């Protein structure tokens, strides 16, 4: 297959397989304010989520009908909403039922689930009082590990991660432009992912994943001051402690990454992905022993009732073709 690329100031014609996959996404059902409906035209062009990025979201994994740590995702969703002053008029049970309904409507047992809450439709003008009421969408769609399953090359971007002085990085907002600009730098450099620094130059996180380094058998990750407090990050810290690995949440420099024995990224969409090189410098082990142990321990939690909830019961599961 010939893929024609037109490079004009960063613009590129989409690959045919991307066009086809987007076409399939358009056929999926979505959940909007309590109703399962076609995803086509589900969003109004007057929604402030589109006009101003005024909204927040969560990304949750559904694996074989089991939803991973929904309680933690719902707590973060409500915290993001509280910080930006959005009311989510839904209980956790209603959210779980909405997720189950949309997964079943789309005949999915493995999916990335996205709960998106926007300020809703309103008059143009960014004052939230110009909107009628918040809108909640739930999407469920196939999504293989976002960063692939092999070791990543990362670059350190010069795009500064959102600072607590603007939009707190703890808010999982509909504004990802810092990450998108950093990702474009990684693409241009031929790297798999970009890491962003905080306003003071310490490691913050990747564009949609947290970062960990291992040095002398100890696991270290940046404090959640300029990064999202990831659910996978928290899980990995908990599992490491259970495995007897010392953990530290602290400031980390780019030098700490270069000098690491092992390093990896974590995220709901990405899973746990080892870093192979950072700015072209090869890490000592990829994946190293600690990373390998954590990858195995993490996978062992996916269907453990302490971590996951079965929302699409076995007998309701459609055959996956
Ligand atoms: C900016 C950012 N950082 C980190 C993460 C990882 O968080 P989690 O493990 O909760 O998916 C994500 C993914 O949601 C993200 O978007």
Residues 178-216 have pLDDT tens digits of 999 999 999 999 999 999 999 999 999 999 999 999 999
Residue 227 CA: nearest ligand 1 atom is 3
Distance 230 CA to ligand 1 centre (A): 5
pLDDT of residue 10: 53
Pairwise CA distance, residues 42 & 86, whole Å = 20
Residue 172 CA: nearest ligand 1 atom is 16
Distance 110 CA to ligand 1 centre (A): 19
Tell me the best of 116, 160, 228, 234 to mutate to test the pocket of ligand 1, counting ligand atoms within 8 Å of each CB and taking the most.
228
Q: What pTM does this model have?
A: 0.94
Q: Whose CA is nearest to atom 2 of ligand 1?
A: 208
Distance 6 CA to ligand 1 centre (A): 31
Q: Whose CA is nearest to atom 8 of ligand 1?
A: 230
Distance 130 CA to ligand 1 centre (A): 30
Pairwise CA distance, residues 65 & 297, whole Å = 20
* Contact present, 311 and 67 (Cβ < 8 Å): yes
Alpha helical stretches, state H, the chain: 16-26, 48-52, 70-84, 92-105, 177-188, 231-242, 254-258, 289-299
Tell me the best of 59, 181, 197, 298 to mutate to test the pocket of ligand 1, counting ligand atoms within 8 Å of each CB and taking the most.
59
Distance 72 CA to ligand 1 centre (A): 12
CATH number for the 152-287 domain, one of 3.40.50.720, 1.20.1280.50, 3.20.10.10, 3.30.450.20?
A: 3.20.10.10
Average pLDDT over residues 124-139: 97
pLDDT of residue 1: 41
Residue 128 is classified by DSSP as G
Helix (H) or strand (E) holding 197: strand 193-197
Q: Is 32 a catalytic site residue?
A: no
Pocket of ligand 1 (CB under 6 A): 59, 179, 205, 208-210, 227-228, 230-233, 266-268
Pairwise CA distance, residues 140 & 246, whole Å = 36
Tell me the best of 171, 194, 226, 230 to mutate to test the pocket of ligand 1, counting ligand atoms within 8 Å of each CB and taking the most.
230
pLDDT tens sequence across 273-304: 999 999 999 999 899 999 999 999 999 999 99
16-141, what's its fold? D-amino Acid Aminotransferase; Chain A, domain 1 (3.30.470)
pLDDT tens sequence across 228-245: 999 999 999 999 999 999
Q: Whose CA is nearest to atom 13 of ligand 1?
A: 208
* Contact present, 226 and 198 (Cβ < 8 Å): yes
Domain ranges of the chain: 16-141, 152-287
pLDDT tens sequence across 144-187: 888 888 899 999 999 999 888 888 899 999 999 999 999 999 99
Closest CA to 193 of 145, 253, 149, 152: 152
Q: pLDDT above 70 covers what percent of the chain?
A: 94
């Amino acid at each position: 297959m010939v893929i024609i690329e037109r490079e004009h100031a960063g613009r590129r014609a989409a690959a045919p397989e991307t066009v086809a996959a987007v076409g399939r996404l358009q056929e999926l059902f979505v959940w909007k304010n309590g109703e399962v409906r076609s995803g086509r035209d589900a969003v109004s062009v007057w929604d402030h989520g589109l006009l101003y990025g005024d909204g927040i979201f969560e990304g949750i994994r559904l694996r074989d009908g089991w939803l991973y740590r929904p309680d933690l995702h719902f707590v973060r969703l409500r915290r993001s909403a509280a910080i930006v002053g959005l009311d989510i008029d839904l209980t956790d049970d209603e959210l779980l039922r909405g997720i189950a309904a949309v997964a079943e409507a789309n005949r999915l047992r493995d999916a990335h689930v996205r709960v998106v809450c926007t300020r809703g439709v309103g008059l143009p003008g960014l004052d939230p009082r110009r909107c009628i009421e918040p809108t909640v969408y739930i999407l469920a769609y196939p999504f293989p590990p976002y960063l692939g399953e092999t070791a990543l090359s990362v670059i350190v971007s010069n795009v500064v991660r959102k600072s607590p002085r603007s939009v707190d990085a703890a808010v999982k907002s509909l504004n990802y432009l810092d990450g998108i600009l950093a990702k474009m730098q990684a693409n241009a450099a031929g790297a798999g992912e970009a890491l962003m620094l905080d306003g003071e130059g310490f490691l913050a996180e990747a564009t949609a994943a947290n970062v960990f380094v291992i040095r002398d058998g100890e696991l270290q990750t940046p404090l959640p001051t300029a990064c999202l407090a990831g659910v996978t990050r928290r899980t990995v810290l908990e599992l490491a402690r259970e495995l007897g690995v010392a953990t530290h949440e602290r400031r980390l420099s780019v030098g700490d990454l270069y000098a690491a024995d092992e390093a990896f990224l974590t995220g709901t969409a990405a899973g746990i992905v080892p870093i192979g090189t950072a700015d072209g410098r090869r890490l000592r082990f990829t994946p190293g022993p600690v990373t390998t142990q954590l990858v195995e321990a993490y996978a062992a939690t996916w269907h453990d009732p302490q971590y996951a909830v079965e929302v699409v019961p076995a007998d309701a599961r459609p055959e996956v073709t």
